[in-house]
């Protein structure tokens, strides 16, 4: 079955053609990095306008590259939640128009759930039951999966998503946008000391499977910019900033490395707890932009190995937002009976 996937939830306009859920015939991603770089983050209004300008070109290119004609498409899958509402609406409108014009089914896909399918693209079927980990710019969650389409959330971040922490730490260190890959490169450099700074790992009690990354981010901020001390004169809100050490390239490298060590410890701690609490699993399925992080990839491999789990982690190109994961999961959902009509709505939050 040939499925066209469309994705426009944040700052990537993407379309892909996937056969039978796993064989990727084409995956086109138009990124908007340069448009948002000067703002240090994604500006929603700019993002939706940029989607609108390139969505038709991106869809046409995905169809061309797949070597098919429009008439060969058998279903349209679209990421309709979660995301920036204006951005989602562009992809959703395109998907509805194509579904109506071609007379083929429309399937709405949850973007977060689709990240957990990205590791199956161009690979064999993952083994279930599985433990799922989504680490992206908007989400940090752990799931228990019975199948690709049946999952329940075990925990999520109570403040910042892990990718958000990477992006903010990059900004604090003056590394620019997009932050994740730059912190990855800075902290992975030769001679980096990941124990130079003892950054906190949030546990949230003995049982919790939730994450918290805001304390870690603040600890990095204080290390780099200095720690504000309480005002000496009551009623006068003057903050004294303890003078930080100058940020040499070596110090930047060591802060980046120590931050990543803390992230790794936080992620592994919660995965360990999740396994203890939910019992035996066949695989560990990971997805989301932060799954591209070199240090985490190595750590997750080691963890899965130790626990006797098959690690299902996407190829680098399927870690960040793409439409192949949407088309792929769309196919699985369609097989399980899901079909939407033209009343399908864009929703800002995830349903899983
Ligand atoms: O999944 P994604 O493309 O978008 C969301 O659904 O949020 O994830 C984007 C996030 C950004 O925060 C980006 O900085 C982070 O993934 N990221 C990385 C790396 N590559 C992308 N974080 C750490 N290391 C990387 N190599
Ligand atoms: Zn994403």
Query: For residues 21 and 119, what is the distance between their CA atoms, to the nearest angstrom?
Result: 12
Please tell me the distance between residue 103's alpha carbon and the centre of ligand 1 in angstroms: 36
Query: For residues 332 and 147, what is the distance between their CA atoms, to the nearest angstrom?
Result: 10
* pLDDT for the residue 228: 76
pLDDT in tens, 204-225: 999 999 999 999 999 999 999 9
Per-residue pLDDT band for 303 (boundaries 50, 70, 90) equals: very high
Answer yes or no: is pLDDT of 91 > 60.
Answer: yes
334 contacts 105 by C-beta, under 8 angstroms: yes
Average pLDDT over residues 301-307: 98
User: Which amino acids bring their CB within 6 angstroms of ligand 1?
Assistant: 10, 136-138, 163, 166-167, 178-181, 184, 288-290, 292-293, 320-321
186 contacts 253 by C-beta, under 8 angstroms: yes
Please tell me the distance between residue 136's alpha carbon and the centre of ligand 2 in angstroms: 6
- Give the burial class of 192: count Cβ atoms within 10 A of its Cβ; 0-12 exposed, 13-18 middle, 19 or more buried: buried
Q: Mutate which of 83, 137, 165, 168 to test ligand 1's pocket (most atoms within 8 Å of Cβ)?
A: 137
* Cβ atoms < 10 Å from Cβ of 260: 25
Query: For residues 130 and 314, what is the distance between their CA atoms, to the nearest angstrom?
Result: 15
Burial pattern 37-76, b for ≥16 Cβ within 10 A else e, equals: eeeeebbeeebbebbbebbeebbeebbeebebeeeebebb
Please tell me the distance between residue 19's alpha carbon and the centre of ligand 1 in angstroms: 26
Q: Mutate which of 187, 289, 293, 299 to test ligand 1's pocket (most atoms within 8 Å of Cβ)?
A: 289
Q: Mutate which of 177, 263, 290 to test ligand 1's pocket (most atoms within 8 Å of Cβ)?
A: 290
Please tell me the distance between residue 193's alpha carbon and the centre of ligand 2 in angstroms: 30
Q: pTM (2 decimals)?
A: 0.94
The residue contributing the CA closest to ligand 1 atom 18 is 180
Counting from 1 in the atom list of ligand 1, the atom nearest the Cα of 9 is 6
Residues near 272 by Cβ (< 8 Å), separated by ≥ 6?
Answer: 303
Burial pattern 134-159, b for ≥16 Cβ within 10 A else e, equals: bbbbbbbbbbbbeebbebeebbbbee
User: What DSSP state is assigned to residue 157?
Assistant: B
Q: Mutate which of 41, 165, 166, 329 to test ligand 1's pocket (most atoms within 8 Å of Cβ)?
A: 166
pLDDT in tens, 223-276: 999 887 766 666 665 555 667 888 999 999 999 999 999 999 999 999 999 999
The residue contributing the CA closest to ligand 1 atom 13 is 180
Please tell me the distance between residue 300's alpha carbon and the centre of ligand 2 in angstroms: 19
290 contacts 135 by C-beta, under 8 angstroms: yes
The closest ligand to the CA of 42 turns out to be: 1
* Cβ atoms < 10 Å from Cβ of 324: 32
* pLDDT for the residue 38: 84
Average pLDDT, the chain: 95
The residue contributing the CA closest to ligand 1 atom 8 is 289
Q: How many CA atoms lie within 13 A of 269 on its CB side?
A: 19
Residues near 150 by Cβ (< 8 Å), separated by ≥ 6?
Answer: none
pLDDT in tens, 25-65: 999 999 998 898 888 788 999 999 999 999 999 999 999 99
Strands 228-229 and 151-156: unpaired
User: What DSSP state is assigned to residue 139?
Assistant: -
Strands 12-19 and 2-7: antiparallel
């Amino acid at each position: 079955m040939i499925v066209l996937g469309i994705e426009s939830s944040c700052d990537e306009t993407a379309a892909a053609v996937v056969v039978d859920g796993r064989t990727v015939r084409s995956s086109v991603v138009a990124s908007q990095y340069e448009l948002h770089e000067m703002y240090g983050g994604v500006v929603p209004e700019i993002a939706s306008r940029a989607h609108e300008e390139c969505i038709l070109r991106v869809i046409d290119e995905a169809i061309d590259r797949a070597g098919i004609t429009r008439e060969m498409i058998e279903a349209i899958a679209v990421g309709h939640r979660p995301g920036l509402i204006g951005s989602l609406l562009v992809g959703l409108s395109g998907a509805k128009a194509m579904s109506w014009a071609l007379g083929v089914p429309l399937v709405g896909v949850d973007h977060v759930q689709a990240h957990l399918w990205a590791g199956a693209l161009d690979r064999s079927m993952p083994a279930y039951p599985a433990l799922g980990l989504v680490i992206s710019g908007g989400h940090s969650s752990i799931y228990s999966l019975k199948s690709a389409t049946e999952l329940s959330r075990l925990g999520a971040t109570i403040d910042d998503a892990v990718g958000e922490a990477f992006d903010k730490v990059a900004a604090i260190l003056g590394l620019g946008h997009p932050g994740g890959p730059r912190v990855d490169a800075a902290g992975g450099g030769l001679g980096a000391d990941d124990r130079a700074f003892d950054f906190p790992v949030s546990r949230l009690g003995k049982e919790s499977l939730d994450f918290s990354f805001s304390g870690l981010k603040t600890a990095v901020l204080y290390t780099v910019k200095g720690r504000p001390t309480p005002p000496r004169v009551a009623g006068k809100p003057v903050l004294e900033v303890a003078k930080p050490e100058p940020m040499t390239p070596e110090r930047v490298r060591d802060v980046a490395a120590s931050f990543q060590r803390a992230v790794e410890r936080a992620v592994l701690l919660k995965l360990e707890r999740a396994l203890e609490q939910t019992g035996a699993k066949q695989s560990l399925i990971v997805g989301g932009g932060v799954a591209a992080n070199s240090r985490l990839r190595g750590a997750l491999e080691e963890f899965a190995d130790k626990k006797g789990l098959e690690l299902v982690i996407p190829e680098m190109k399927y870690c960040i937002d793409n439409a192949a994961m949407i088309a792929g999961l769309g196919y699985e959902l369609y097989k399980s009976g899901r079909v939407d009509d033209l009343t399908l709505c864009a929703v800002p939050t995830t349903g899983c």
